[in-house]
Amino acid sequence: MDKAYVAIVLSILFLFSIQRFLGHRRRSRSNVDNGKNKSVTHNRLPPGPRAVPVLGHLHLLKKPIHAALARLASQHGPLFSLRLGSRPAVVVTSAELARECFTEHDVTFATRPRFASLDLVSFGGTTLPTSRYGPYWRNLRRVATVHLLSAHRVGCMLPVVSSEVRAMARRVYRAAAAAPRGAARVELKRRLFELSLSALMETIARTKTSRAEADADRDMSPETQEFKEALDEFIPLIGAANVWDFLPLLRWLDVFGVRRKILAAVSRRDAFLQRLIDAERRRLGDDNSCNDGSDKKSMIAVLLNLQKTEPEVYTDATIMALCTSMFTGGAETTATTTEWAMSLLLNHPDVLKKAQAEMDVSVGTSRLVTAADVPHLGYLQCIISETLRLYPAVPTLVPHESTADCVIGGHHHVPAGTMLLVNGYAIHRDPATWPDPAAFRPERFEDGKAEGKFIITFGMGRRKCPGETLALRTIGLVLGMLIQCFDWDTADGGKVDMTEGVGITLPRAVPLEAMCRPRQTMVDVLKGLLE
């Protein structure tokens, strides 16, 4: 404890001295410039709260960060300035300003700021979501959109997702059938994460998780557990509200062991990814069918074939960077969004019954819902849209950074090198756009009533998430199966606690546990899955 205290004091004194020195130099240069050209009218910086020495406004960013930023916006307006350590930042909390940033100033804000913690988990900032804007990023984006996540490729992946959905339905039904009174207590996040990761493992690496069907009531498969443990360790340690990223001396001394913890988790994750790449490389050498250009080729196989022609571009590190973006973005956010959707449905049983009625009419009770059904289930789509409005997977988006001076909102000057934080969570709950914004009302999206209203769940502009189509189709299929096949109730008979957790994503504070009972109309279909 003494060591940590001394390090913090030294860090504050050291940075305060540097800040004063740099501030004095900036003021001197400004005075000289003003003396040379007094006729120049400077645009004003956005307003902001009073900063403290060294920390700037870091002490105001209580977690969860989207809630802290929303509170500051209520005091300083929809566009305000912050200083995070020595790093300048602006925060946008209105649809109009967010749209301006990602249309009129899209190129200016197309790059990413560098964070020390994020660099450790993103191969030095070389993953698709974290890399700086330029030729390298454009090539990654092209590979992702053309080879990995094209509409055709997503269509080829959906049978794998459907197979995993059927396997989950089978496991949950078996657990319920063996439980007292035919109702099983289910921790949904664990099962949802395994489903998402298993589907991704087969499409990315042609590898199935090794969990046996007999393990329906046990923990995750070893592969899922290994990857999830790594994510659970480093995700809370990264993000724009991490003080460690903004105070260099804390990083150098690693007082709180942040670097050590991140590197240990990342090492396990990278070993996991390297095993997948090595296994697929061996398979490519032994199996000629992998080289025939078929749609069944895994994503790693596609990348390894590209590696043969451009080995200096498609290194194993680059392949791992692309794979970790897919695994982390696909498994974690899909499972989290579906868990929030089920939490909302448990608190609104009338919505759940309405969704089941739609399923019975549109799909029937003689078969499971399929990927082809999902786009035609209008009310299910409304539930997903309303869930994403209330609980966007990345509530403040991934931070952007300006590469040139620009003016936002008509007169607010934003200098080059300024970090941009867009509070999507607050924008989605703006009462000027959404009446009674905190209420769960899927009907908002019926019959095109929400058309033209601003939703930024997957980002916007050049850096918009390329996995949006796959995510929405997967969430629709998984949620559709849970609604169609089972009746649900809260574990204790009361309301589900909707307290939010912390992290770069938006987890629940407490994982959702619910009581699950097979619907009588679907029992024959579920029994058929056991045969």
The verdict on residue 28 lying in a domain is no
The verdict on residue 7 lying in a domain is no
The verdict on residue 158 lying in a domain is yes
The verdict on residue 305 lying in a domain is yes
- Phi and psi at 98, nearest 5°, equal -65, -40
Q: Hey, which of 262-271, 420-429, 486-495 has the most confident mean pLDDT?
A: 420-429
Q: How far is CA 176 from CA 167, 170, 403, 478, 488, in A?
A: 14, 10, 56, 18, 11
User: Residue 298 and residue 205: Cα distance in Å, rounded?
Assistant: 5
- Phi and psi at 20, nearest 5°, equal -65, -40
Question: Does the bond joining 64 to the residue before it have cis omega, within 30 degrees of 0?
Answer: yes
Binding residues, as ranges, are: 465
DSSP 429: T
In CATH, what number is assigned to the domain containing residue 225? 1.10.630.10
Given a contact cutoff of 8 angstroms between Cβ atoms, the answer to whether 59 and 49 are in contact is no
The verdict on residue 27 lying in a domain is no
The verdict on residue 49 lying in a domain is yes
Q: Where are the alpha helices (DSSP H) in 295-347?
A: 299-309, 316-327, 333-347
| Position 429, amino acid | R
Binding residues for heme, as ranges, are: 465
Average pLDDT over residues 7-20: 50
What's the pLDDT at 396? 94
For residue 411, count CB atoms less than 10 angstroms from its CB and return exposed for 0-12, middle for 13-18, buried for 19 or more. exposed
What's the pLDDT at 8? 52
- pLDDT tens column, 63-96: 889 999 999 999 999 999 999 988 999 999 999 9
Q: Which of 40-44, 121-125, 454-458, 500-504 has the lowest mean pLDDT?
A: 40-44
Domain interval for residue 60: 43-530
- pLDDT tens column, 328-360: 888 888 999 999 999 999 999 999 999 999 999
SS3 398: coil
Cβ-proximal residues to 185 (8 Å cutoff; 6+ apart), any chain: 179, 491, 513, 514, 515, 516
The verdict on residue 16 lying in a domain is no
Q: Quote the longest CA-to-CA distance of the chain.
A: 85
CB atoms closer than 10 angstroms to residue 64: 21
Q: How many domains does the chain have?
A: 1
User: Residue 460 and residue 221: Cα distance in Å, rounded?
Assistant: 36
